[in-house]
Amino acid sequence: MVRLQEELRKPGLTTKEVAKQLGISVTTINKYIKQEMLPVFQEEYRGINCFL
Protein backbone atom coordinates (compact mmCIF):
# COMPACT_ATOMS: atom_id res chain seq x y z
CA MET A 1 0.00 0.00 0.00
CA VAL A 2 2.82 2.41 0.89
CA ARG A 3 4.55 1.73 -2.44
CA LEU A 4 1.36 2.55 -4.35
CA GLN A 5 0.94 5.80 -2.42
CA GLU A 6 4.53 6.78 -3.25
CA GLU A 7 3.98 6.04 -6.95
CA LEU A 8 0.81 8.18 -7.05
CA ARG A 9 2.33 11.09 -5.13
CA LYS A 10 2.66 14.24 -7.20
CA PRO A 11 6.18 15.59 -7.54
CA GLY A 12 4.99 19.18 -6.85
CA LEU A 13 1.98 21.49 -6.86
CA THR A 14 -0.31 21.92 -9.85
CA THR A 15 -1.12 25.35 -11.22
CA LYS A 16 -4.61 25.02 -9.74
CA GLU A 17 -3.22 24.25 -6.28
CA VAL A 18 -0.81 27.20 -6.43
CA ALA A 19 -3.60 29.53 -7.55
CA LYS A 20 -5.79 28.40 -4.67
CA GLN A 21 -3.01 28.87 -2.11
CA LEU A 22 -2.20 32.35 -3.41
CA GLY A 23 -5.84 33.35 -3.86
CA ILE A 24 -5.43 34.20 -7.56
CA SER A 25 -6.73 32.68 -10.79
CA VAL A 26 -5.12 29.87 -12.76
CA THR A 27 -4.95 32.31 -15.68
CA THR A 28 -2.73 34.60 -13.61
CA ILE A 29 -0.52 31.66 -12.62
CA ASN A 30 -0.13 30.72 -16.31
CA LYS A 31 0.75 34.34 -17.10
CA TYR A 32 3.44 34.29 -14.40
CA ILE A 33 4.81 31.02 -15.81
CA LYS A 34 5.03 32.50 -19.32
CA GLN A 35 6.78 35.57 -17.92
CA GLU A 36 9.17 33.23 -16.03
CA MET A 37 8.12 34.72 -12.70
CA LEU A 38 7.37 31.26 -11.28
CA PRO A 39 9.70 28.27 -11.53
CA VAL A 40 7.97 25.27 -13.11
CA PHE A 41 8.73 21.93 -14.70
CA GLN A 42 6.58 19.80 -16.92
CA GLU A 43 6.09 16.17 -15.99
CA GLU A 44 3.61 13.42 -16.71
CA TYR A 45 1.28 12.73 -13.79
CA ARG A 46 -1.38 10.05 -14.10
CA GLY A 47 -1.00 10.05 -17.88
CA ILE A 48 -1.36 13.83 -18.32
CA ASN A 49 1.44 16.34 -18.93
CA CYS A 50 1.25 18.87 -16.09
CA PHE A 51 3.13 21.98 -15.07
CA LEU A 52 4.30 21.50 -11.50
Residue 47 per-residue DSSP state: T
Say if residue 43's pLDDT is above 80: no
Report the chain's mean pLDDT, rounded to a whole number. Answer: 80
pLDDT number for residue 19: 92
Higher-confidence position of 26 and 6:
26
Residues paired with 49 in a beta bridge: 44
Q: Which is nearest to 41 in space by CA: 19, 49, 31, 2?
A: 49
pTM for the structure as a whole: 0.64
